[in-house]
Structure 1
Amino acid sequence: MTGSGQPRRAAAERRAGASGAVGTSLAVAAAVAFASSGPLAKSVMDAGVGSGQLTWLRIGLAAVLALVSALALHPGSLRFHGRDWVEMLGFGLFGVAGAQWFFFAAVARLPVAVAMLLEATAPVFVALWVRFVRRRRLPVAVWLGIGLAIAGLAAAAQVWQVSTLDAIGVLEGLGSALCAAGYFLIGQRVVTTCDPLGVLTVSLLIGLLAVSFTIPPWTVPFSGLDASALLGGVVLPVWFVITMLAVVSTVVPYLCGLASLRHLPPSAASVLGLLEPGVAAVLAWWLLGQSLTAPQLLGGLAVLAGAAVVQVAIHRRAGTPLHVTNHRDRHHTR
C-alpha cells in the first residue's frame, strides 16, 4: 500500500503543479491584457469620445463577440441554474459595468498609471470585507499592508499638491478598486460551477444593460468612430482602437482571469494581477508619452507592496482570502 501510494501522490503533485502553471500563465496574460485598457482608452477619449460612451462601446462590442463565440463554440455554457443567476447579476454589475465605468472615468482625469494604481488597491477592500462583513480577525500584517498601500496612494496621487489634485478622479479610481474586489469575490464563486465563456457572455450583457440606463445607445457617437486617435505616434481610426479595447483588453483578459480562478486560489491570482500597474505605466509612457515623477514611482511601489502584504497575510491566516462560498460549501451549509 505504501509503495503504491507514493506514485499516486507523485502523480497528484505533478497534476497540481501543471494546474498551477496553467493558472499562473492565464493570470499573467489577464494582467498584461487588462493593463492595455488604460492607454487604449485614453487615446480614444483624447479623440473626443466621453468615458461613459466609451464604456458602452467597449462592453457592447465585447458582449457581441462573446455571445457569438458562445453560441458557435459552446452553447451549453449559457445554461445557468438557481443561485448562479444572482451571482451573475452581481458579477455583471460590479466586475464588468462598475469596474470599467469607474476606471475609464478615472483615466479621463488622472494619468493612466495613477488610475491603475488606485484600482490595484482592490485587495484592501477585500480585507475590509473579510473583517467587517465576514467578521474575521485579521493579522497585524494585514493592517500594516493597508497602511503602506494608503501611504503609497498618497504619494502616487501627490496629495500635497492640493491645487492640482483631482479629488473626483481619485474617488473614481477607488470606485474601480471596490468593483474590482467584487470581480474577484464573485468571480471565484461563479466559476466553480459555471463555464467561464458563459459567465463572461452573460455578465457582459448584464453590464451593457446596466450602463445603458445612464448612457442610452442613441447618445453614443457612432458617427465619430471614423475619427483619428494617436497611439504611440501612429494615427489609427477610433473604431479600430475600440475594437482592440473590446478584444485585447476585455474579452481576452476576462476569459483568462476567470479561467485562472479554476487553477489558482484567488489570493495568488490577485497578487499576479498587481502586474497591471507596472505594465500600464510602461505602456502609457511608450504609447502616450505619460511618465511618473520619482515620488509617484515610489508611491506606486508602496501600493503594490502593501497590496501584496495584505494578500499574503490573509492567505496564511484563512487559506483563500477572496474565497467567500463556493458551490460545494453551499451544500455543506444547508
Structure 2
Amino acid sequence: MPHVMTDRTQATLIGAIAPVVWGTTYAVTTELLPPDRPMTAALLRAAPAGVLLLLLTRQIPPASWWGRLVVLAVLNIGAFFPLLFLGAYRLPGGLAAVVGSAQPLIAAAVLLLAFRQPTPARQLVWAVLAVAGVGLAVFAGPVTVDVLGITAAFAGTASMATGVVLTRRWGLPPGMSGLAVTGWQLVLGAVVITPLVPLLDTGDFELDGPAIAGYAWLAIPGTAIAYAVWFSAGRRLPATSTALLGVLSPVVAALIGWVWLGQALSGFQSAGFALALAAALIGQTTAHRTPGTPRRPKRPGRAPAACPASVPAAP
C-alpha cells in the first residue's frame, strides 16, 4: 500500500504541472497574441509541439491503434483547442474558468453513462465544492456573459473531460511511449484545426515580438511539456481525480491577474479561490480503487501499458 500511495502522489504532483502552466493561457492570449485569431492560436499551439515530440520519439503507432488515436486527437486537441481559444477570446478568464472547473463532474457523468462506472461520493462532493469555489470567486465581481463564448467553453470542457476518461481507459499502444502518443495526438489535432483558420479567424495576423513569445510559450511549456505530463497522470490516476486537478488553472489565472495585470481580488473572491484550491487538493485523497472493482493479484514485472481503467497503469 505505501508503494501505491507513493506512485499516486507522484502522479498527482506531476499531473498538477499541466493545469498550473495552463493557468497562464488566458493572460498570454489577451496580452500577447494578435486579436481575433483563436484558430491560429490553436494551430500554432498544437503543430510545433507535436512535430517536436515526433522528432524526439520517432515511433509509429500500430495499425490497430490509429482509430483510437484519431478519437483522442479530436477530443483532446482538434476540438478542445479551438473551443478553448474561442472561449478565451470572448469571455473574461474567470468566467471561462468556472465552466472549465466543471470538468471533473463531466468526467464522472461520462464514466457513469458510457461505462457504468460510478465515481466515489466523496470525490463528487469535492468536485462540486471546487466548482462552487470558482463560481464564488468569479460572480463576486463584475461579469460579462457572451453566449457563444459560454457555449464554446462548455463544449471544450466536455471534450477534454471525455478525452481524460478515454486516456485512462485505453492506456498506451504497445511499444509506444507517452511522449510519442502525445506527439501524434497534437499532429493529428493540428490537421483537424488547419481548415478552421481561414473560416473563423478575422483579425490581422501580426507576428511581432510579443506574439512570438506568446506562441512559443503556449507551444512548448504549455503544450509539449504540459500535455505529456497530463496524459501521463491521466493513465495513472482515476479520471475524475485527473480532471479535478484542472481546478488549479483558474486559481493560477487569478494569481496572474492579481500579480501581473493588477486585477484586485475581493474578500469573497479570495475565499472562493481558496475553497476551489482546497477542494482540488483534498479531492486527490479519495481512494484510487473504483468501488465494486475486484482486486487483482499482483504479478512480478511491469504491467502492460494498455490497461483498462480498473487497473493502475505502470509508472
TM-score range, shorter chain: 0.7 to 0.9
Aligned to 2:61: 79
SS at match of 2:50: helix
Aligned to 1:43: 31
Q: Distance in 2 between matches of 1:136 and 1:269?
A: 16
Compared CA separation, residues 274 and 319, structure 1 to 2 (3 A): farther
| Residue 130 in structure 1 maps to residue 111 in structure 2 | yes
Compared CA separation, residues 134 and 262, structure 1 to 2 (3 A): closer
| Residue 279 in structure 1 maps to residue 266 in structure 2 | no
Which one of 80, 85, 100 corresponds to residue 119 of structure 1? Answer: 100
Contact 2:49/2:186 (8 A) holds in 1: yes
Q: Distance in 1 between matches of 2:169 and 2:111?
A: 15
> Which AA in structure 2 matches 1:181?
A
- The 5 Å alignment of 1:49-64 reads 49-64=36-51
Aligned to 1:202: 184
- Give the TM-score of the pair, scaled to structure 1: 0.72
Which one of 13, 16, 22 corresponds to residue 28 of structure 1? Answer: 16
Aligned to 2:161: 181
Aligned to 2:228: 255
CA-to-aligned-CA distance 1:136-171 (integer Å, 9 cap, x gap) = 566666775666566556545539978x33333222
Deviates more, 1:187-196 or 1:296-305: 296-305
> Which AA in structure 2 matches 1:204?
L
How far the C-alpha of 1:92 sits from its partner, in A, is: 0.8
Q: Distance in 2 between matches of 1:140 and 1:200?
A: 31
| Residue 243 in structure 1 maps to residue 216 in structure 2 | yes
How far the C-alpha of 1:253 sits from its partner, in A, is: 0.4
Compared CA separation, residues 132 and 300, structure 1 to 2 (3 A): farther
How far the C-alpha of 1:179 sits from its partner, in A, is: 1.7
Query: How many residues align structurally?
Result: 297
CA-to-aligned-CA distance 1:234-289 (integer Å, 9 cap, x gap) = xx531122111100111110011122334444444333343222122112322333
How far the C-alpha of 1:21 sits from its partner, in A, is: 4.5
Hey, which of these two has a bigger chunk of helix by percent?
A: 1
Aligned to 2:298: none
> Which AA in structure 2 matches 1:59?
A
Which one of 200, 219, 225 corresponds to residue 207 of structure 2? Answer: 225
Contact 2:171/2:308 (8 A) holds in 1: no
CA-to-aligned-CA distance 1:103-144 (integer Å, 9 cap, x gap) = 222221223233233212111111222333334566666775
CA-to-aligned-CA distance 1:2-50 (integer Å, 9 cap, x gap) = xxxxxxxxxx854x455335323321222222222222122234x4352
Contact 1:41/1:245 (8 A) holds in 2: no
Contact 1:98/1:176 (8 A) holds in 2: yes
> Which AA in structure 2 matches 1:55?
A
Q: Distance in 2 between matches of 1:244 and 1:319?
A: 43
Compared CA separation, residues 107 and 218, structure 1 to 2 (3 A): closer
| Residue 66 in structure 1 maps to residue 53 in structure 2 | yes
Compared CA separation, residues 178 and 300, structure 1 to 2 (3 A): farther
SS at match of 2:115: coil
- Give the TM-score of the pair, scaled to structure 2: 0.76
Aligned to 2:302: none
- The 5 Å alignment of 1:87-102 reads 87-102=68-83
Aligned to 1:231: none
Q: Distance in 1 between matches of 2:260 and 2:44?
A: 21
Compared CA separation, residues 105 and 299, structure 1 to 2 (3 A): farther
Contact 2:170/2:307 (8 A) holds in 1: no
Alpha-carbon RMSD across the aligned residues, in angstroms, is 3.7
Q: Which runs of 5+ in 1 are unaligned?
A: 1-11, 227-235, 321-325
Deviates more, 1:113-122 or 1:177-186: 113-122
Q: Distance in 2 between matches of 1:143 and 1:21?
A: 20
> Which AA in structure 2 matches 1:256?
V
Q: Distance in 2 between matches of 1:93 and 1:151?
A: 29
